[in-house]
Structure 1
Amino acid sequence: MSRGQTSPTLSGKSTAAQSKSYTNYKVTLFLSLLVWAALVCLYFYGESYKVLRYVQKSITDTSPSTHHLSYSSALNVTRLKSLNSLPDNTTAGKVAKPPARVMATAPRVKQAPKARPYECIFPATDPFDPQLKSVLKVYPPLNCSKHTANIVYLENFVAKVNHSKLSLVLSDGYNFSHCWCKEIKCKDGSDKAFEYTWTSETFTESFGLQPWQENIMTECFDTRKRAISRSYFPLIRIKNETERFLKKNYQKYTAHNSPLETLSILVLGIDGMSKQHFERAMPKTRNFLLEKMGAIELYKYNKLAFETFPNVLPLLTGHTPEEFYKDWHYNRTEFVDQINEAFIWTDARKIGYRTGMMLDTYDLTAFHYQKKGFKQSPVDYYQRQTVIASSRDKLMRGNDSNCAGDIPEVTQIHDYWLQMARTFGKDRTTPFFAYSFAVRITHDDCMLAYKGDDVYHKFLQDLVATDSLDNTVIVWFSDHGPRFGPIRETYHGRIETSTPYIFFVFPPWFERKYPKLISTLKINQNRLSSHFDTYETLRDLLYFKAGEKTGGKLSERGISLFREIPKERTCQQAGIPGEFCVCGRLSKRKLTNQLQNLLGMALLDSINSFIGHRNSSTLSSFVLSKNSKHTINKGKRLLPANTSDSNVHQSSSDILSDSTSSKSRLPSEQLRKKCSPLTLLAVERVYHVTNDQLQSLKAKTYRVTIKTTPGFGLFEGLVNYKRGESGHVMGDIVRINLYRGQAECVQDPWLRQFCFCVK
């Protein structure tokens, strides 16, 4: 074989080797790529795992309803560098923030807005709604000029005869003879009986009173020795022994506590007037409070109970009657002295305040209606005897009990507080706490408030004119709205009965010196409040500290108005029984006759159980079927058949079950003999109650009004109803029309509204 030729065998081997080498190369390259791909996958898998762990932890630590992060967003985060610098821990409620350079490219996570807490909303009612025209009765101003003239007046504690008025009281042929003064005192151990303990010499011009005389009646005669006029004067006199005691208390209190202020406090109440009716009937008084005195009004002030006593007691003590029955063993028909230690005026006296109380009637006050009043004077200045003597004077009363001779009766209260302000108001070292409550004008008919506007307006003008308010806080309030009358039967009346008014008047300098306190009070103008909160505010004024105050808590029944009340506060949290709560909307719903009757019978059966009678009708033992809206099937009874007489009523409301036992004092047997069982005449009205703050929406709540016989009583209450179950009465049932003359056989004030005495 020549050198230039290639061997066929060698040539074939070379080609095969080359082919094998190329194949190995491809395999190696493929394996290398596969390894690199695997490494890349492992890298990204590890990084993704880190991110997913981070996202999972963030979501876990965050409220599930407020933060959302999509999976695609998580994958985008895997492309970020320096991911290992992300913190492992997060703050509750917030996603942990990555470094700034990461945030520059990271997608934003939007946070859903926090759910707004439900706020108590009072129904919007127009006090001047044209629909009210048919139930409003506008009276002219109180005019007492036609009554027997008061011919004696007082000037600097000197009784003087007004000879210009003698002709108004003398009969033809008779002349003026003389006058005398008598001192009035309560009989020992009684708050309803009085006696005259001293009589002056006769006078025809004037007579100077002694410094210790507080309660005076003047009586004048004609020449036939017939009484022609009497006048009554409750007086504020300096009591030396009392002053020594109070000054000692004041010095001790200020030395140990160094209060920033010792403010005098004047609490003035009027019975049975809503804030809407106050605006309607007393515009002069209201405008003077707001415009001339700078008063601050609360707009969501809710009553606590049906009548006066359980409303003013929380305002003055911070407690309910039921709490006193249970914890103090208070007997409501006995003397109120049993609980006098709990009243705020007792606290005031302990720290050197002069204390006073003035009530305008002898039988209808919170402490005397179906009660014995006070065995001992509860305060330093308590002119009960003058009120009793004046109220029973037929010569001076005439046909209008709002007049005491030719002057309005309520002016006696007003004059008393004018004396108090002049005597103690100008000196910061002689503070006073005074409480008064006027029943007479508005108790039986809230429309009579129109008569009192001029009288109250003048009182406020005179009070300002004393120039004695520079250290005095005025609390101007009512206990509840109208309980009876045509307006009570309207939609507006159902709202107004639970919305009393309250105003706070501070000295002009107070807001400048304590702006934070006033700004907080103004915030609370639109927060749910009650008499419990007023009590706490009075205590803050009494023991005055102006430091930083923490906000109120939902767990607190009473919150001082100088602390911010939570916006989401409910009636239950504020201690307001559900049947009186205004935080809701009333709407008429088209209901079947069967359902209306069922709701009405639920009320009726409860009422009859209060007066010792069992279920009044077989209709109450029926409930609406779950399967049909219109058929009625037999079901469980509202009251079990084996319910004992001693506990015949069991409401779904804890408030009622607690209070009923303390109210129902007579055994059922006696009540059955005294009170006739009531029968349903009609279901007058049914409103569906919608309340965003209701704890449970499983049952529907209705405000039901029924008419019963005998007596034509109108009763109102809340009934919870769930289909397939019987109606359950929530809380108290109240009577919304007068029952005078129907329940004289029962003394218990709560039971009287339900009892029609068997003749």
Structure 2
Amino acid sequence: MMKRFARCLLWLVVLSLLLSSGLIYLTLRQGESVSRSLFSQHGSFLGQVFEGIQAADTADSNYKDMVHEGDGQAVHTSQCFIPDVELYHSSVSKYLRRDTPSLRCDRTKHKPDLTFVKGDLLVVNDTSIASYGSLDYCEFVEIIRPEHSDSSYELGKKRFKFKDRAVIKKPFIKVYCYSSNNSLIYQNLHATTPTKNYLKHLKENLLIRHKRMGYLERLNVLMVGLDSVSRLNFYRQFPKTLSVLKERLSAYELYGYNKVRDNTFINLVPMFLGKYVEETDWNETSNTGFDKHEYAWKTYGKAGYHTLFAEDAPKIAIWNYEKKGFSQPPADYYLRPFSLAMAATKKMWHNDFHCFGDRLETDITLDYVSKFIETRQNAPYFAFTFLTRPTYENLNQNTDASHSAFLNSLIDHGLLENTMVIYFSDHGARHSDILSTYIGKLEERLPAMFISLPSWFIRKYPQTAQNLQVNQRRLTTPFDIHELLRDVLRFKGQPKIHSKAESRAYSLFDRVPENRSCKTATIDDHWCTCLEQKSVSVNSAPVKKAAELIITSINNMTRAHRDKCVELKLEKITEALQSSPQDKLLTFKMSVNDVIGRKVYYGDEALGRVIIYHVIIKVSPSGAVYHGTVRYEAASNSYHLSGDISNSSTYGDSSWCISLHSLKKFCYCDVQRSR
């Protein structure tokens, strides 16, 4: 009954939007019905919203095909409306595959691993020996991180020989096994997390000092990131993991989690540092690393926590791709030297570099995290891992089985009973044809974000839990995750309810203001999902002016490198959306009283109406597709570029001639390498 009432209410809301926007005028007579097709013809945005509403009546109850709770709206506050749409909407279904199997390693194409690690023992697997013929002996050597280097690894000088098992006290080792004629028949790498006694005592002293500050709880933090997975695509590609998060961990889902910048690095810096990259001293010309910055793992380490930092795909690691990385290990347990050694052992890789030996790279990384958690005993920890390779450039690829098994194992062994778990992504797909649709652009800006807290914590602090419940349907950003991490570390059990949006960041233990907008959250127009949008003709004069401004801006950025980068020409405008602030925002004058007799007064429209044009253009000779946002200011009759311009094409080697990372997506080299 309540769901039926909510749907009716939503129909009335959308009808009022249509009437107030002037898109359609209806005279409703008693007994007349209004079909969905009548509405869907008035712009792709409204059509998608209504199809999402209709789908709610017939959607399956399982995680794969459900239209999410909210009956057509992910967020609906006074300053932000974000529609929630069907997972397999007709406009995007051709880009999606249903029931994609989880990545796995085909063991028929690779011999089974001959060695494995159990606790602090390196063991020869007797059942695998037959696959290698004869085995005489094995030996292992330590993998070492060179001092002040984040881009290389070294092998220790001493090798340790063994027959069937050996005690290992080093975190990273490489194993070699030989036949009776001394031929190399097997090699592999193993990562462990041995307890560091000196570290344990140091951390205990820090914890004593930290406790004197009067903080009430000491939660562990586990953060698992997936590259390029939107909230909707998490439902499509990770249904088993979603089920664990929702059903076993009772995770909160942030339906309005909006990215604030384009790619991974510039979205995660706000999350872990609380600043935009441009607010730090780093830029593309910097010749120093990131050691001096107070990232969250460093803050937790200073408070006595054991810390872990683990990524896959080291060539494109977040703080290393075309950057200096870290001079000193950023965390107590740092996987990068091991990952570099894996990358260099090229004969072990197969299945498009997803499998190393008979194991997925994802499983190896998650196993390292599991071992770290298992060996912490009663020591508090902060663990951050980010998995890039499986989902970076493939909308229909996943490691769902790996992640669900990882979580289920931790839960089954009681290892998350004092842990805040954050499963998240940096953004949605950025290099996919799905971006040609409105829903694709919506997904790119709304990454997955799930937060789980221990059940005892929820019971003990009900106001905090209630705030999190409310915040699920508020506009949120990576800056709020940073504030949450600060709050967990300094928790005093006194959550706040903010009545006005006066800050760009709020702890999710507090209640995010209802009147928060993209402007107060400092989200650029280009990335903001709150704006009301409608399709406009690509031949209209304003759209043509916007497109010319975008192509001119691109060429201006590469002008200084014209001897390398050709001048791009506008080939065609492929799509245009027009967005504008809500009429009530523009005409609001004042309000009196809060509850009884509450009244809102409206007046003349504020001067300087702003219209935002989201334009997609194709350029020549590169054939690249660019997405740009242009602001038209009526007061001055002028057009201005708003935010940055993104390239939804895979530019690869086409920009080989220029090393400046910020220009690679705009530069098409005059001389193209032969393929």
Q: Classify the TM-score, shorter chain.
A: 0.7 to 0.9
Of the structure 1 ranges 545-554 and 280-289, higher mean CA displacement relative to structure 2 is found in 545-554
| Deviation (angstroms), 1:207 | 1.5
SS in 1 for 2:102: coil
Q: Could you tell me which residue of structure 1 aligns to residue 265 of structure 2? A: 309
For residue 142 of structure 1, the aligned residue among 93, 99, 103 is: 103
Q: Could you tell me which residue of structure 2 aligns to residue 38 of structure 1? A: none
Q: Could you tell me which residue of structure 1 aligns to residue 88 of structure 2? A: 128
Write the distance in 2 (CA, Å) between the matches of 1:591 and 1:355: 52
For residue 158 of structure 1, the aligned residue among 106, 121, 124 is: 121
Assess if the C-alpha contact under 8 Å between 1:266 and 1:474 holds in 2. yes
Write the distance in 2 (CA, Å) between the matches of 1:306 and 1:531: 13
Q: Does 1:698 align with 2:602?
A: no
| Deviation (angstroms), 1:710 | 2.2
Assess if the C-alpha contact under 8 Å between 1:421 and 1:466 holds in 2. no
Q: Could you tell me which residue of structure 2 aligns to residue 409 of structure 1? A: 361
| Deviation (angstroms), 1:594 | 4.6
For residue 350 of structure 2, the aligned residue among 398, 402, 415 is: 398
Write the distance in 2 (CA, Å) between the matches of 1:460 and 1:332: 40
Q: Could you tell me which residue of structure 2 aligns to residue 248 of structure 1? A: 205
SS in 1 for 2:616: strand
| Deviation (angstroms), 1:584 | 1.8
Assess if the C-alpha contact under 8 Å between 2:284 and 2:662 holds in 1. no
Q: Could you tell me which residue of structure 2 aligns to residue 718 of structure 1? A: 629
- Compared CA separation, residues 337 and 722, structure 1 to 2 (3 A): closer
Q: Does 1:743 align with 2:633?
A: no
- Compared CA separation, residues 729 and 563, structure 1 to 2 (3 A): same
| Deviation (angstroms), 1:296 | 0.8
Write the distance in 2 (CA, Å) between the matches of 1:513 and 1:722: 51
Assess if the C-alpha contact under 8 Å between 2:238 and 2:400 holds in 1. yes
Whichever structure has more helix as a proportion of its residues is: 1
SS in 2 for 1:190: coil
Assess if the C-alpha contact under 8 Å between 1:324 and 1:339 holds in 2. no
- Structure 1: gaps of 5 or more residues: 1-115, 613-667
Q: Could you tell me which residue of structure 1 aligns to residue 68 of structure 2? A: none
- Compared CA separation, residues 708 and 574, structure 1 to 2 (3 A): same
Write the distance in 1 (CA, Å) between the matches of 2:270 and 2:337: 26
| Deviation (angstroms), 1:224 | 5.3
Write the distance in 2 (CA, Å) between the matches of 1:459 and 1:441: 16
Of the structure 1 ranges 267-276 and 123-132, higher mean CA displacement relative to structure 2 is found in 123-132
Write the distance in 2 (CA, Å) between the matches of 1:202 and 1:581: 59
Q: Could you tell me which residue of structure 2 aligns to residue 730 of structure 1? A: 642
Match for 1:276: what amino acid? L
Q: Does 1:336 align with 2:289?
A: yes
Write the distance in 2 (CA, Å) between the matches of 1:465 and 1:228: 37
| Deviation (angstroms), 1:483 | 0.4
| Deviation (angstroms), 1:286 | 0.6
Q: Could you tell me which residue of structure 2 aligns to residue 360 of structure 1? A: 312
Write the distance in 2 (CA, Å) between the matches of 1:335 and 1:222: 47
Assess if the C-alpha contact under 8 Å between 2:534 and 2:579 holds in 1. yes
| Deviation (angstroms), 1:486 | 1.6
Provide the TM-score with structure 2 as the length reference.
0.81
Write the distance in 1 (CA, Å) between the matches of 2:358 and 2:111: 6
Q: Could you tell me which residue of structure 1 aligns to residue 563 of structure 2? A: 673
Q: Could you tell me which residue of structure 2 aligns to residue 615 of structure 1? A: none
Assess if the C-alpha contact under 8 Å between 2:291 and 2:330 holds in 1. no
SS in 2 for 1:459: helix
SS in 2 for 1:336: coil
Match for 2:102: what amino acid? P
Write the distance in 1 (CA, Å) between the matches of 2:214 and 2:405: 37
- Compared CA separation, residues 177 and 195, structure 1 to 2 (3 A): same
Write the distance in 1 (CA, Å) between the matches of 2:397 and 2:435: 15
- The count of corresponding residues between Structure 1 and Structure 2 is 571
Q: Deviations over 1:584-628 (max 9, x none)?
A: 23321235355443322111111111111xxxxxxxxxxxxxxxx
| Deviation (angstroms), 1:742 | 1.0
For residue 266 of structure 1, the aligned residue among 216, 222, 233 is: 222
SS in 2 for 1:231: strand
Write the distance in 1 (CA, Å) between the matches of 2:648 and 2:155: 41
Write the distance in 1 (CA, Å) between the matches of 2:288 and 2:501: 35
SS in 2 for 1:578: coil
- Compared CA separation, residues 226 and 727, structure 1 to 2 (3 A): farther
- Compared CA separation, residues 495 and 595, structure 1 to 2 (3 A): same
Write the distance in 1 (CA, Å) between the matches of 2:264 and 2:184: 37
| Deviation (angstroms), 1:311 | 0.4
Write the distance in 2 (CA, Å) between the matches of 1:548 and 1:488: 39
Match for 1:610: what amino acid? M
- Compared CA separation, residues 690 and 283, structure 1 to 2 (3 A): farther
Q: Could you tell me which residue of structure 1 aligns to residue 392 of structure 2? A: 443
Assess if the C-alpha contact under 8 Å between 2:273 and 2:482 holds in 1. yes
Write the distance in 1 (CA, Å) between the matches of 2:569 and 2:111: 48
Of the structure 1 ranges 731-740 and 597-606, higher mean CA displacement relative to structure 2 is found in 597-606
Write the distance in 1 (CA, Å) between the matches of 2:476 and 2:95: 29
Assess if the C-alpha contact under 8 Å between 1:123 and 1:585 holds in 2. no
SS in 1 for 2:280: helix
| Deviation (angstroms), 1:133 | 2.3
Q: Does 1:209 align with 2:121?
A: no
Q: Could you tell me which residue of structure 2 aligns to residue 487 of structure 1? A: 434
- Compared CA separation, residues 243 and 219, structure 1 to 2 (3 A): same
| Deviation (angstroms), 1:713 | 0.7
Write the distance in 1 (CA, Å) between the matches of 2:490 and 2:158: 43
Write the distance in 2 (CA, Å) between the matches of 1:689 and 1:338: 41
Q: Deviations over 1:423-465 (max 9, x none)?
A: 22x52xx21111111111111223222xx11111111111112
Provide the TM-score with structure 1 as the length reference.
0.72
Q: Could you tell me which residue of structure 1 aligns to residue 278 of structure 2? A: 322
| Deviation (angstroms), 1:519 | 0.4
Match for 2:91: what amino acid? Q
For residue 757 of structure 1, the aligned residue among 652, 661, 669 is: 669
Assess if the C-alpha contact under 8 Å between 2:267 and 2:478 holds in 1. yes
- Compared CA separation, residues 265 and 739, structure 1 to 2 (3 A): same
Paired-residue identity, % = 29
Of the structure 1 ranges 194-203 and 469-478, higher mean CA displacement relative to structure 2 is found in 194-203
Write the distance in 2 (CA, Å) between the matches of 1:198 and 1:383: 21
Q: Deviations over 1:683-723 (max 9, x none)?
A: 11111224428777623221101111222111001122367
Whichever structure has more strand as a proportion of its residues is: 2
Q: Could you tell me which residue of structure 1 aligns to residue 149 of structure 2? A: 190
Match for 1:743: what amino acid? S
Assess if the C-alpha contact under 8 Å between 1:215 and 1:234 holds in 2. yes
Tell me which of the two structures has the higher relative contact order, counting C-alpha pairs closer than 8 angstroms and 6 or more residues apart.
Answer: 2
Please show how residues 494-505 of structure 1 align to structure 2 within 5 Å: 494-505=441-452
Write the distance in 2 (CA, Å) between the matches of 1:234 and 1:367: 21
Assess if the C-alpha contact under 8 Å between 2:138 and 2:178 holds in 1. yes
Write the distance in 1 (CA, Å) between the matches of 2:199 and 2:452: 28
Write the distance in 1 (CA, Å) between the matches of 2:301 and 2:446: 31
Write the distance in 1 (CA, Å) between the matches of 2:180 and 2:555: 61
Q: Deviations over 1:500-553 (max 9, x none)?
A: 111111112111111110001111111111000010011100111102534264
SS in 1 for 2:465: helix
Q: Deviations over 1:180-230 (max 9, x none)?
A: 1111011222111111014433333212213xx111122223455444333
SS in 2 for 1:289: helix
SS in 1 for 2:314: coil
SS in 2 for 1:558: coil
Write the distance in 2 (CA, Å) between the matches of 1:681 and 1:591: 13
Assess if the C-alpha contact under 8 Å between 2:495 and 2:510 holds in 1. no
Q: Deviations over 1:119-166 (max 9, x none)?
A: 311123212213322111454321212335322111122111123234
Assess if the C-alpha contact under 8 Å between 1:689 and 1:702 holds in 2. yes
Q: Deviations over 1:468-501 (max 9, x none)?
A: 2121111111111110112122221110000011
Assess if the C-alpha contact under 8 Å between 1:265 and 1:434 holds in 2. yes
Write the distance in 1 (CA, Å) between the matches of 2:168 and 2:291: 35
Of the structure 1 ranges 492-501 and 744-753, higher mean CA displacement relative to structure 2 is found in 744-753
| Deviation (angstroms), 1:338 | 4.5
Of the structure 1 ranges 145-154 and 535-544, higher mean CA displacement relative to structure 2 is found in 145-154
| Deviation (angstroms), 1:330 | 6.1
- Compared CA separation, residues 127 and 177, structure 1 to 2 (3 A): same
Write the distance in 1 (CA, Å) between the matches of 2:657 and 2:146: 28
Assess if the C-alpha contact under 8 Å between 1:147 and 1:397 holds in 2. no
